[in-house]
Structure 1
């Protein structure tokens, strides 16, 4: 991915530790949903990496 200095930088939808006092219940619920979806994405990435690691370990064990 290349950096384009003319492209505006997108502000994150949620920043961990940010002030929540001015957000409505609806905005908080949207952020919860966003974070839950991100947790699922992170878990899927972990599972994928774990599967790759197990496959590599299996391959090396079989070649010994």
Structure 2
């Protein structure tokens, strides 16, 4: 899977902008807050993935009967 497949190619995409942001201008506190926010977003994405996998497994078992 290519990074463009994940991030998209639009220049106005918020994730693309986030990844391109210059971190040199941020303080240690700002960087720590950013890491905390990103870790929260990772946890939210993982929970969504787990729910989708569980939902799919439930659907598959229902229709395999």
**TM category, shorter:** 0.7 to 0.9
CA–CA separation in structure 2 for the residues paired with 1:41 and 1:16: 18
Structure label with greater radius of gyration: 1
Relative contact order higher in (CA < 8 Å, ≥ 6 apart): 1
Structure with the higher fraction of residues in helix conformation:
2
Quote the RMSD (CA, aligned, Å). 1.9
Alpha-carbon deviation of 1:15?
1.1
Task: Detail structure 1 runs of 4+ shifted over 3 Å in the superposition.
Answer: none
Unmatched 5+ stretches in structure 2: 1-13
Unmatched 5+ stretches in structure 1: 1-10
Matching residue within 44, 48, 58 for 2:47? 44
Q: Give the alignment's TM-score, normalised by structure 2.
A: 0.72
- Aligned residue pair count: 51
